[in-house]
Amino acid sequence: MEYLEIHDFSLELKEKLPETYEILKASVIRVHPHVKKITLHGSRGPAGKFRSGSDLDLCLVTDIDTRLVPEQQLDTLLLRVLMTTLKNSECPVELDVAVIFDHVGCGLRCFSEEDYQNLKCRNEFDGCMGVYILQETWKGILPPITSVQKMYPYMNIWRK
């Protein structure tokens, strides 16, 4: 299987969240070649206040252009991207991973601005970003209800 192995994380992560940085440095995170960026969310991210045993919430932001992928192949491709990380990574804490893809042609500008107050996106609406997850409550592409504002705060921790 083809994947990228991530060893270097952002300096901002090291400076602002040293415990999470150490967890990631002790990990082997592997991602599918379609992943262009990794963002960190949740209690081990900028939200803070994690407890021992807290998972690590990561979004794998992809370069997948849904206009170029036949609809019947999209689910398979997104599952492959997610499973590349889940099956091939080694991490001392549980990984909670979501795959993000652009399905409205906006370029996912919201993953370039770490402060929601500074986001100026004319294309923003609930469900404007595609989200693929595998959890107990949902498996697959989320319905178009995900609010961009709810993914904040987050931190960009790796870029291709």
3-state secondary structure at position 5 = strand
Would the pLDDT of 36 be above 70?
Answer: yes
Alpha-carbon distance 121 to 99, whole Å?
21
Q: Mean of the pLDDT values across residues 10-31?
A: 96
Q: Quick check: 78 and 99 in contact, CB under 8 A?
A: yes
Strands of 28-148, DSSP E: 29-31, 35-41, 56-65, 95-102, 129-134, 139-141
Residues 58-86 as b or e (16 or more Cβ within 10 Å = b) = bbbbbebebeebeeeebeebbeebbebbe
Separation of first and last alpha carbons in the chain: 19
pLDDT tens digits for 80-105? 999 999 999 999 999 999 999 987 88
What is the predicted pLDDT for the residue at 120?
Answer: 78
Q: 91 phi and psi, to 5 degrees?
A: -145, 135
Q: What pTM did the predictor assign?
A: 0.91
Q: Mean of the pLDDT values across residues 121-150?
A: 80
